[in-house]
Structure 1
Amino acid sequence: MKPRLSLKQSISLTYILLAVIVAGAFSLVSYISVEVIEEQVIDARLSKMADRLIELQPGGRMPDAPPDIRFMIDDRIPAELRQLPAGSHEVGLGNRHVHVLLRDHGSSRYAVVQEVDELEHTELVILLSLAIGFAVSLLLAAVLGVVCAKRIIAPVAALAEAVGRNAGPTELPSLSAQDEIGILARAFAKRTDELQQFLQRERLFTGDVSHELRTPLTIMLGAAEVLTAQLADRPAQLATAERIRRVAAEAAQGVSALLLLARVPESLDAPRIVLNSIIKSEIERCRPLLHGKPVECRLDWSEEVSVHVRPELAGIVIGNLLRNACRHTEQGQVLVQLAAGRLVIEDTGSGIPQKVRERLFERFVHGDDLPAHEGTGLGLSIVKRVVDHVGWDVRLEIPQAGGTRFVLTFPIVRDS
């Protein structure tokens, strides 16, 4: 697809095209006028000279003539001119360019010859002047187009810059202008104000709900831990208690992450943590999901990898991806590969249907043919929100052998 011109380029090009049309039309009219005037003036002059010659010649007299005009009669007319029909002609005579008027009167032929070399030179000067004027017009049009485009685009560029840096509705430029830029600025201000109010309401709601849930979840988690300890000699009830404890822990972790997400990224501190320990902790929490399955959870790393991030947020991302891999893998392995700036979580499970891959990180999107699973989980949409919040990146890859591969990339932390 051919790229469209920018507004500034379009305005400049419009000025240039207008100059081409106007200057071209003016030059063409001027050239035609010069040609017409030249023909009419020369023909009229030569016609008067011929009348005077025919009038005076019977008396043996010749009219006075300017230096560039010659009179010829009968045999004195060169052969190359005698063979021309009566009338006005522009021909070459020797090494000179002449304009000749031939007229027959009685039995004689009369010729009035005017050298037009000087006229041709004058015409060339005029044409050169028209060409220079045309070129200067284009140059001036280009300069004027660029200057006007900058002045016209400047308010739009200032408005775009203000919107890009999330300026407040009252900080947008051109709000008081009465032209189209002012209308656009006021529309942006209104929309920006609505979006900021919406984001503020969402942030407050998320923070309030998360805050209210922390206390009951903490109580549930403590009670589940006590119940697990009391049912150590009852394996059947112990599994249920452990399941309650695990789900409560996941919910508590999710609430903590939501509280952090309710804050703007710039206000979050990002301590340096070792990602290896977070991964080990999340794998241990996912072990019960692999119970009774012929699935191996394998770690592959050769060094400790440090990142600047809140551990709660890193745990939410890694834990959610690991739980998905463990829940949807019935046999084979779950492979976790960690390197500087990159974490890969790959499984040999059922994979993700083609129809939902492009929308996988959207809210409420899931594969219809994926098996149901227990646990709350935050979902991949929350994973996407977290990685965007902390400046990481996540993408889905499909291994050739089947299954699913999620690749997390993050800034590398160098040892000082």
Structure 2
Amino acid sequence: MNPSHSLKQHIALAYILLAVMVAGAFSLVSYISVEIIEEQVIDVRLAKMADRLIDFQQQGRLPDAPPEVRFLIDGDIPPELQQLPVGSHELALNNRHVHALLREHGGRRYAVVQEVEELAHTEQVILWALLIGFAVSVLLAIALGMLSARRLIAPIAALAEAVEGNVAASALPSLAAQDEIGVLARAFAKRTDELQQFLQREQMFTGDVSHELRTPLTVMLGAAEVLAAQLSAQPAQHAAAERIRRVAAETAQRVSALLVLARAPESLHAPRTLLNAIVEAEMERCQPLLQGKPVACSLTCSEPVSAQVRPELAGIIIGNLLRNACQHTEQGTIVVQLAAGQLVIEDTGTGIPQRLRERLFEPFVHGAEQPAHEGTGLGLSIVKRVADRIGWDVRLQQPASGGSRFVLSFPALRTDLPGP
């Protein structure tokens, strides 16, 4: 999972954004309130003081101004203030921060100037306090967000780890919880139990059917061998009996392969198997499918090729791919290329329609619009399932010259290594 898109990150980010918005709004409102209060308090105070001082001056009395306030008349007013219009002003005068109120009364100009250095310092303190409070709020939000996210995600992470570890449904964590995590855990447990029961039923059914078929197949194989021995002096009948024996033997091998597939993957023993002999045997078995067709089937292989696989499982994959090529090729060639780590079966048949290529390995999907040979459409599906089971890869390619090319990839083994 990409950490930048994890649920933990989203929860922590939500806390941080909330803190930034709330603390930022509070700080902004506080700062604006301080500014408004400052302006109103100073302006009202200067206005009242100006009224009183101007009255004193007109009455000939000595103006009584506080020490931090200066009352200036006409020429005593500094040039910086002379240029300003009547009203309240905030400016720097002689490197001092002041508020000034200018008035004109009776043809004379008056100025009431108050230094606000202490007030400006207080304003700076408030501003820094707001900034520090904002930063502390964000840091607390980060810590609280990470802590809350960790506590919220911990049950989900434990549940995911248990599911990945294939823990029994009854042993999943948070099953007794009454919150959403408990609902999720119970849903996982129910689904896991259903899947395990389904897989168990499938394995038992496959094993039971395969076991029940072995006895009649053994009888058929024994009878075919006896019949072939009795007809050894009659070539035509002997060939038919030998074919029955061969088909019965092949069917027995397929049943054995089904029994192998019914086992758990970890119980499968995969010996070192020479694939050359399997390919040649499967090509020989497919020869009856090419009788009467102008089709040449050839094998290209320059060295022994081995793989870590059960022979019967490799035979299922290779045999189905070869039969598929023989059934759908009416003329031309079928070329089998075997090399280390790869088997390629290419034919000059009708090819696979574009709309069927993506679904070709699904059950009951035929590789042609109207197949010349009746079938269930399970051959390539079985190939795909067996290949996935043993860790091989099979894919379809469309040659430029037409037809089909199936590429079977498998882990290559060094030819100089001794067998088991």
The two structures have a TM-score, normalised by structure 1, of: 0.90
Letter in 1 for 2:62: R
Match of 1:112 in 2: 112
C-alpha RMSD over aligned residues: 2.6
Q: How does 1:185-204 map to 2 (within 5 A)?
A: 185-204=185-204
In the alignment, the residues of structure 1 paired with residue 374 and residue 105 of structure 2 have an alpha-carbon distance, to the nearest angstrom, of 121
The within-5 A match list for 1:42-61 is 42-57=42-57, 58-61=59-62
What one-letter code is carried by the residue in structure 2 that aligns with 1:73?
I
Once the 2 structures are TM-superposed, how far is the Cα of residue 242 of structure 1 from its aligned partner? Answer: 4.9
C-alpha displacement of 1:261: 0.8
1:399-410 equivalent positions in 2, closer than 5 A: 399-410=399-410
Deviation at 1:46, TM superposition (A): 1.9
Residue of structure 2 equivalent to 1:13: 13
> Is 1:144 equivalent to 2:144 in the alignment?
yes
Query: CA shift at 1:345, angstroms?
Result: 1.7
For 1:28 and 1:292, how far apart are their aligned partners in 2? 92
Which range moved further: 382-391 or 361-370?
A: 361-370
Displacement of 1:376 in angstroms is: 8.6
- Work out the CA distance in 2 between the residues paired with 1:251 and 1:370: 27
1:193: how far off?
A: 0.9
Question: Shift of the alpha carbon at 1:304?
Answer: 1.9
Please name the residue that 1:207 is paired with.
207
How many positions carry a matched residue from both structures? 413
Residue 137 of structure 1: CA displacement? 2.5
How much does 1:273 deviate? 1.4
User: 1:247 touches 1:375 (CA, 8 Å); kept in 2?
Assistant: no
1:207 counterpart SS class: helix
The question of 1:311 aligning with 2:311 is answered: yes
Greater shift, 229-238 or 165-174, is seen at: 229-238
CA contact (8 A) 1:221 1:248 kept: yes
Measured after TM superposition, the shift of residue 105 of structure 1 is 4.1
Q: Helix, strand or coil: the match of 1:360?
A: coil
Amino acid at match of 2:389: H
Residue 295 of structure 1: CA displacement?
A: 2.1
Corresponding residue SS for 2:330: coil
> Match of 1:207, as an amino acid?
G
Structure 2 match to 1:224: 224
Deviations 1:223-266 (A, max 9, x none): 33444455556666556545544443332222111111111110
Q: Using a 3 Å threshold, how does the CA distance of structure 1 residues 233 and 132 change in structure 2: closer, same or farther?
A: farther
Are residues 30 and 12 of structure 1, via their aligned partners in 2, closer, same or farther at CA, if it must alter by over 3 Å?
Answer: same
* 1:382 aligned partner: 382
**Partner of 2:411: helix, strand, or coil?**
coil
In 2, the alpha carbon distance for the partners of 1:374 and 1:100 equals 105
Instruction: Give, in whole Å, the separation in 1 of the partners of 2:413 and 2:10.
Output: 46
Give, in angstroms, the shift of residue 399 of structure 1. 1.4
CA gap 1:377/1:223 in 2 versus in 1, 3 angstroms? farther
The verdict on how the C-alpha distance between 1:374 and 1:218 changes in structure 2, with shifts beyond 3 A counting, is farther
Query: What does residue range 157-168 of structure 1 map to in structure 2 within 5 Å?
Result: 157-168=157-168
Residue in structure 2 matched with residue 359 of structure 1 by the alignment: 359
Please tell me whether the aligned partners of residues 27 and 130 of structure 2 are also in contact (alpha carbons under 8 angstroms): yes
Write the letter of the residue equivalent to 1:143.
Answer: A
CA contact (8 A) 2:350 2:368 kept: no
Between 1:361-370 and 1:188-197, the stretch displaced more is: 361-370
Equivalent residue number for residue 65 of structure 1: 66
Query: Which consecutive unaligned segments of at least 5 residues does structure 1 have?
Result: none
Moved more, 263-272 or 217-226: 217-226
The aligned amino acid for 1:66 is: P
Cα distance in 1 for residues equivalent to 2:367 and 2:277: 31
Instruction: Determine if the alignment matches structure 1 residue 296 to structure 2 residue 296.
Output: yes
Q: Provide the C-alpha distance between the structure 1 equivalents of 2:83 and 2:369, rounded to a whole number of angstroms.
A: 101
Matched letter for residue 402 of structure 2? G
* Contact 1:320–1:377 (8 Å) recurs in 2: no
Q: Describe the superposition over 1:96-119 as per-residue Cα deviations: whole angstroms up to 9, x where unpaired.
A: 443101234444432111234554
CA offset digits 1:55-88 (Å, max 9, x no partner): 4434442324234x32201221134424544332
What is the CA–CA distance in structure 2 between the aligned matches of 1:214 and 1:318, rounded to whole Å? 23
Q: For the Cα contact (< 8 Å) 2:23–2:137, is it kept in 1?
A: yes
Task: Summarize the Cα distance change of 1:54–1:374 in structure 2 as closer, same or farther, 3 Å threshold.
Answer: closer
Equivalent position SS for 2:255: helix
Contact 1:320 1:378 in 2 (8 A): no
Of all paired residues, the percent bearing the same amino acid is: 73
SS in 2 for 1:337: strand
CA contact (8 A) 2:365 2:377 kept: no
Stretches of 4+ aligned residues off by more than 6 angstroms: 374-377
Amino acid at match of 1:314: A
Range that drifts further, 258-267 or 361-370: 361-370
Q: Deviations over 1:27-58 (max 9, x none)?
A: 11011111012112222332343244234434
- Letter matched to residue 66 of structure 2: A
Contact 2:344 2:405 in 1 (8 A): yes
Report if aligned partners of 1:331, 1:348 keep a CA contact under 8 Å in 2.
Answer: yes
Offset at residue 144 of structure 1 (A): 2.2
